[in-house]
Amino acid sequence: MTDEAIRATASFMAQLSSSGAPIVVFDLDGTLADTASDLIATLNFILQREGLDPLPLDEARDLIGAGARALIGRGFQARQKPLTADHLETLFGAFLDHYGQNLVVHTKLYPGIVEALDTLAAQGFTLAVCTNKMQDHSRQLLEALGILDRFAALAGRDTYPVCKPDPLHLTRTIADAKGDPRRAVLVGDSKTDVDTARAAAIPVIGVDFGYTDTPMVRLMPDRLISHFDALVPAVQALIRA
């Protein structure tokens, strides 16, 4: 390819990118909504079915964050019970069936998130969700919580061939939402989210109230917030930077 062709291609890609809106992409579990009680209730349903003691919520909430398969595996590990790959797949199906019938028993949105979403939308931001929760469950949950229609795209664990921490999960979500990746921010609660954002070269805002076995402050996100009242100025600062 000639230098002129390279410059023309770069110019076209820049125009294409800049045509998108600034975008904020959210994780779901532990970020938008406190889903721990319902997730751990389903994990305990599986553990007890297998003859294992249930896990207390306070002990188990940090096992969340990498999807249902990982949650089941971590639950068995916490109970020091071996688990084969084949049996994990069987339990995974049972987990999805049970959880799908109990999505919003105790689950609730975090304080301030609705107001923050509305403010960002009013300021011209596109909003999207990128989660390792299954897409159907994510859609049903967000609809039950009354905020599904605020998001231009929703990508779950099974939406694409890859999922977080693969950066393509995030960048494809941004593309599907018609957002500008140069003016994008990810909001999440775990190492998985921070690693995904870093791999995609996209700034990340960490919330310190979610589910993580490593405190968010130690993961060194670009901004750290403790309440969604602080989200909008944090997003604005990162976009300006």
The DSSP 8-state label assigned to residue 81 in this structure reads: -
Between the alpha carbon of residue 65 and those of residues 12, 93, 159, 234, the distances in Å are 38, 18, 17, 23
**Separation CA 71–CA 84 (nearest Å):** 14
- Asked if residues 135 and 155 have their Cβ atoms less than 8 Å apart, the reply is yes
- In the structure encoding, which two tokens stand for residue 38, read together? 């319902």
- Is 27 an active-site residue? yes
**Separation CA 43–CA 37 (nearest Å):** 10
Determine how many CB atoms are found less than 10 A away from the CB of residue 146: 10
Measured over all CA atoms, what is the biggest interatomic distance in the chain, rounded to whole angstroms?
68
Residue in this structure with the two tokens 């389903």, named with its chain if needed: 42
Q: Active site residue: 27, 34, 180, 193, which one?
A: 27
Please name which of 95, 104, 74, 77 lies closest in space to residue 190, comparing C-alpha atoms.
Answer: 74
Q: For 95-147, list the strands marked E by DSSP.
A: 108-109, 126-130
Could you list the active site residues?
27
